[in-house]
Amino acid sequence: DPQEWGKTEAQKEKERRTEQIFVRWSYGPMGKDGWENLVELRMNRTGTFHKRSRAGETVEKEFTISDEEFTAIDSAIKNDNFAQLQSRSGLPGGITSVITVRRNVKGHSVQMRNYHDPSFDDIANTIRRVILPKVGENDK
């Protein structure tokens, strides 16, 4: 790519870091159609919302958040000690929610399957409050 020829390695590395996925949050099934939803937020404050119904219908929407909104999500992750959370599972059925956070080269994933943990729920609710209105979604 000719546009890449003029870039230094430092510029290329910075672009790779800012385009890196910072948070992934998946949850579902939701509603009578069994929607599975996925939010991907990149370090550069852009992201994608994906959803797929049990019948195979798919929706994909791009979004951008402000620095303040990014900080709110990042603060929830830090304040609720995400790195110390462990996956938990309740009774069969219900909703499965998975959050993955990647900082630099380290990543941590936590899955809650039909189980409520106040710290995990606070992080998920912060992501929900910031992102879902941007893509015109309501997961209730």
* pLDDT value of residue 77: 96
Name the amino acid, one letter, at 28: G
**Cβ neighbours of residue 5 under 8 Å, at least 6 residues apart?**
none
* pLDDT value of residue 12: 59
Enter the pTM of the model. 0.84
Say if CB 123 and CB 77 are below 8 A apart: yes
- Span of 7-11, 75-79, 81-85 with lowest mean pLDDT: 7-11
- Which percentage of the chain shows pLDDT scores above 90? 72
Could you identify the residue written with the tokens 């003029």? 6
Does the pLDDT of residue 114 top 80, yes or no? yes
Cα-based distances in Å from 27 to 11, 19, 31, 113 = 35, 23, 12, 9
Q: What is the mean pLDDT of the chain?
A: 88
Please, which residues bridge with residue 52 across strands?
36, 58
3-state secondary structure of 98: strand
Does the pLDDT of residue 7 top 90, yes or no? no
* pLDDT value of residue 3: 55
